[in-house]
Amino acid sequence: MSRGFSNLPPVVKNLLIVNIMMLGIYYLVFWYSGIDLNARLGLYFPKSDSFKPIQIVTHMFMHGNFWHLFFNMWALYMFGQVLESVWGSKRFLIYYFVCGLGAAFIHELVQGIQYLNLLSQISPADMQAILDLGPGKMFTSEAGQAVSRMSVILNVPTIGASGAIFGLLLAYGMLFPNTELFIIPIPVPIKAKYLVMGYGAIELYLAVTQPGSNIAHVAHLGGMIFGFILIKYWRKTTKTLY
């Protein structure tokens, strides 16, 4: 933190600025016009009427509230500036987007499997009712588990930079495995490699046990998986990572 915001490497600095700006714009547009930009720029499942290809990128810069943004940007600030300093701006930017887009791909893939499994359980009338709800809307659990889950898949967008952020966490753990980190409220330092393994195990457990959660645990895992693959590829094709 002693380096100050002005001394941050350029990609991290600009990512922070864009993400913070987009949350401000989201609130301003909603207050003055009632338009929900998260429902326009968040990522929908391709079978949804609300899906637009541009959402594959824009969803990474949208957040639901201040705390959602704060924790993602804090991790970007803490880990991103170290990684960009080691790799250089170009490679860091490539890594960030590969993790973010990879997270979206894994998330959509899992949703696709769920979508196919649910199709046989839902009548054409219920499917049309789900589509008629529109973006950001979903049935309550009283409508039936299959209908409610399909409603989430088709009408609720995915937003946030968390997939890319989990990729950064993975990279930090791989490049600096023995660096000790203090994580509140844990009173003792934890080595980065154990922190990464712990987060990965927690996300895997939650992805399996809470498939209908409003947190995209599978996307978090996707960011880590694509980050791991890219780092392994770089290590095989270059002598250094920067």
Average pLDDT over residues 86-109: 96
Local structure of 180: helix, strand or coil: strand
pLDDT of residue 239: 61
Mutual orientation of helices 217-237 and 192-209 as an angle, nearest 10°?
A: 140
pLDDT of residue 210: 65
- Compare 216 and 17 and report the one with higher pLDDT: 17
Q: Across-strand partners of 191?
A: 180
Cα–Cα distance, 157 to 46 (Å, whole number): 11
pLDDT of residue 124: 87
Average pLDDT over residues 26-45: 95
pLDDT of residue 52: 95
Local structure of 190: helix, strand or coil: strand
Average pLDDT over residues 100-126: 92
- Compare 195 and 68 and report the one with higher pLDDT: 68
pLDDT of residue 194: 85
* Cβ proximity of 50 and 39 under 8 Å: yes
Domain boundaries, the chain: 5-236
pLDDT of residue 198: 83
Average pLDDT, the chain: 88
Classified by CATH at the fold level, domain 5-236 comes out as: Rhomboid-like fold (1.20.1540)
In this predicted structure, the answer to whether residue 88 has a pLDDT above a threshold of 90 is yes
**Number of other residues whose CB lies within 10 A of the CB of residue 101:** 18
Local structure of 34: helix, strand or coil: coil
pLDDT of residue 2: 45
In this predicted structure, the answer to whether residue 115 has a pLDDT above a threshold of 80 is yes
Average pLDDT over residues 48-66: 95
Q: What's the pTM?
A: 0.89
Nearest to 11 by CA among 86, 92, 78, 111: 92
Nearest to 49 by CA among 130, 160, 115, 123: 130
46 is written with which tokens?
A: 């391709």
* Cβ proximity of 116 and 53 under 8 Å: no
pLDDT of residue 139: 74
Nearest to 87 by CA among 1, 175, 151: 175
- Flag the least confident range among 125-129, 140-144, 230-234: 140-144
* Cβ proximity of 95 and 83 under 8 Å: yes
The share of the chain scoring above pLDDT 70, in percent, equals 90
pLDDT of residue 1: 46
